[in-house]
């Protein structure tokens, strides 16, 4: 029996092999050619893909469609809300952020720090610091990211004094700043002129060997020292840096130019133009770099050199001038006494001249006693900004210098509002306080 079974098995095996050999080759891999049905991507992955491709409107529309489906599908979780919040940060109505905030509370995701921090940034980007700060206060365990986000929110919304107060509060709560926090705090110091606080932060960075002192931090140090008036320290930081980018060079050039050190600024620009970065690429200046260069030419009275740099912006570097560049050129021509050239330059500007540009020329007319041109400029300013008191004061002073007292009285009588008083600032403790003359109501009057 066993022998017959083996014989029949052998015959069946040969028949199977013969069928396989004589089978057309095109049918061998028939099963492999059958299309494989792919599973649709998970909801959160789809949201993430849209977000990474900057399709923010699609993220919000898809998230809304998830909400409308049956709750049993469980399409919405903390990651879904996180992606929707990040999409909401890009020029979408503030009501959407509030709606997401309500949904976070309703679904019980408030304890998640990452969600709360993103929500804080959402409010801050809409300049809603009150709600941003409230979100921060409701975070039970605040980490360094939470503190940095709130400090950055105040800096971005032009409240650097409050940002520095929060920086001190953070340390009093035994939260040690990292490199991002000190970079943001240095920006606040630069805006308020808080040099002592900036020096303390610089010393803190030097003491913390474990802190990663990257390019952004060094650039922030240069910017802080330059804006606070200590150009020598700014240059010392600049000279001690191994790697420099266009921001590094620009910060130092502008720092020299603002403080009237035109020769140093222009020399640095020449060095920058001849340098290459770590990737062996030519260090190309940006539009802010040329603001510093034109300011330097203006302070040094280098009219022709300033014209040359202005033309090179578009002709050599392909940079289209902005209002700031046109303003620098008008200032350059006015300081050089070329008032008519400045007027013609303004008329031929590629962008509509604003009140600041005309006001620069009016001030130069006051200095040089150009009555006829000042009257033309005054008419331009009456159309652009009729309520500005300073223009009337400047015009009345020109009439007074010419002995035209009746005209001076007429202009003076046209003034309907008093000029807003100027204020000064002084660094007190860890912050900077502002005050005006005879300011008896200032809370720090005794210290000031």
Per-domain residue ranges for the chain? 43-141, 243-310, 322-415
What pLDDT score does 246 carry? 94
- For the domain bounded by 322-415, which CATH number is listed? 1.25.40.10
Please tell me which residue, 25 or 147, carries the higher pLDDT value.
147
> Does 197 have pLDDT greater than 90?
yes
Tokens standing for residue 137: 């206060």
Give the integer Cα–Cα distance in Å for 399 and 403.
6
State the DSSP string of 387-428: T-HHHHHHHHHHHHHTT-HHHHHHHHHT--SPPPPP-EEEEE
Q: Please say if the pLDDT value at position 53 is more than 80.
A: yes
pLDDT, one tens digit per residue, over 383-415 is 888 878 888 888 888 888 888 888 888 877 777
Of 412 and 30, the one with more pLDDT: 412
Contact between 310 and 325 under an 8 Å Cβ cutoff? The reply is: yes
Statement: residue 339 has pLDDT above 80: yes
Looking at the chain, the whole-number percentage of residues with pLDDT higher than 70 is 80
Q: Which pLDDT belongs to residue 98?
A: 87
How far is Cα of residue 134 from the mean position of the Cα atoms in its chain? Answer: 24
pTM greater than the 0.85 cutoff: no
Taking all residues of the chain, what is their mean pLDDT, rounded to a whole number? 83
pLDDT of residue 32: 39
| pLDDT for residue 80 | 86
pLDDT at res. 39: 47
- Read off the pLDDT of residues 270-319 as tens digits, 9 standing for 90 and up: 999 887 666 666 789 999 999 999 999 999 999 999 999 999 999 999 99
With a cut of 80, say whether residue 144 has pLDDT above it: yes
């Amino acid at each position: 029996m066993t022998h017959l079974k083996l014989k029949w098995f052998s015959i069946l095996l040969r028949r199977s092999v013969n069928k396989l050999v004589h089978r057309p080759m095109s049918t061998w891999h028939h099963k492999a050619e059958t299309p494989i049905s792919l599973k649709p991507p998970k909801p959160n992955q789809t949201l993430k893909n849209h977000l990474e491709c900057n399709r923010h409107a699609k993220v919000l529309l898809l998230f809304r469609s998830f909400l409308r489906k049956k709750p049993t599908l469980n399409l919405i979780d903390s990651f879904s809300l996180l992606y929707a919040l990040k999409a909401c940060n890009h020029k979408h109505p503030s009501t959407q952020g509030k709606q997401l905030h309500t949904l976070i509370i309703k679904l019980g995701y408030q304890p998640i720090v990452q969600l709360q921090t993103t929500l804080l940034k959402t409010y801050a980007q809409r300049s809603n610091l009150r709600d941003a700060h409230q979100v921060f206060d409701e975070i039970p365990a605040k980490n360094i990211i939470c503190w940095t986000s709130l400090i950055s929110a105040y800096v971005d919304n032009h409240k650097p004094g409050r940002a520095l107060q929060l920086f001190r509060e953070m340390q009093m709560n035994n939260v040690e700043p990292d490199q991002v926090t000190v970079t943001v705090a240095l920006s606040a110091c630069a805006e308020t002129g808080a040099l002592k606080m900036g020096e303390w932060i610089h010393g803190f960075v030097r003491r913390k060997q474990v802190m990663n002192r990257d390019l952004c931090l060094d650039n922030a140090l240069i910017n802080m020292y330059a804006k606070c008036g200590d150009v020598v320290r700014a240059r010392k930081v600049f000279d001690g840096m191994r790697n420099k980018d266009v921001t590094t060079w620009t910060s130092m050039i502008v720092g020299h130019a603002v403080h009237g050190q035109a020769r140093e600024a222009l020399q640095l620009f020449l060095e920058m133009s001849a340098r290459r970065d770590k990737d062996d690429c030519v260090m190309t200046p940006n539009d802010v770099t040329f603001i510093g260069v034109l300011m330097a030419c203006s302070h040094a009275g280098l009219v022709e050199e300033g014209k040359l740099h202005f033309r090179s912006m578009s002709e050599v570097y392909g940079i289209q001038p902005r209002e700031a560049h046109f303003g620098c050129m008008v200032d350059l021509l006015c300081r050089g006494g070329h008032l008519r050239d400045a007027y013609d330059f303004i008329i031929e500007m590629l962008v509509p001249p604003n009140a600041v540009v005309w006001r620069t020329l009016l001030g130069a007319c006051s200095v040089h006693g150009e009555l006829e041109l000042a009257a033309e400029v005054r008419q331009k300013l009456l159309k652009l900004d009729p309520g500005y008191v300073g223009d009337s004061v400047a015009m009345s002073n020109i009439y007074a210098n010419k002995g035209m007292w009746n005209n001076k009285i007429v202009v003076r009588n046209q003034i309907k509002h008093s000029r807003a008083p100027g204020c000064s600032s002084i660094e007190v403790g860890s912050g900077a306080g502002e005050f005006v003359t005879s300011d008896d109501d200032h809370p720090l009057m005794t210290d000031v």
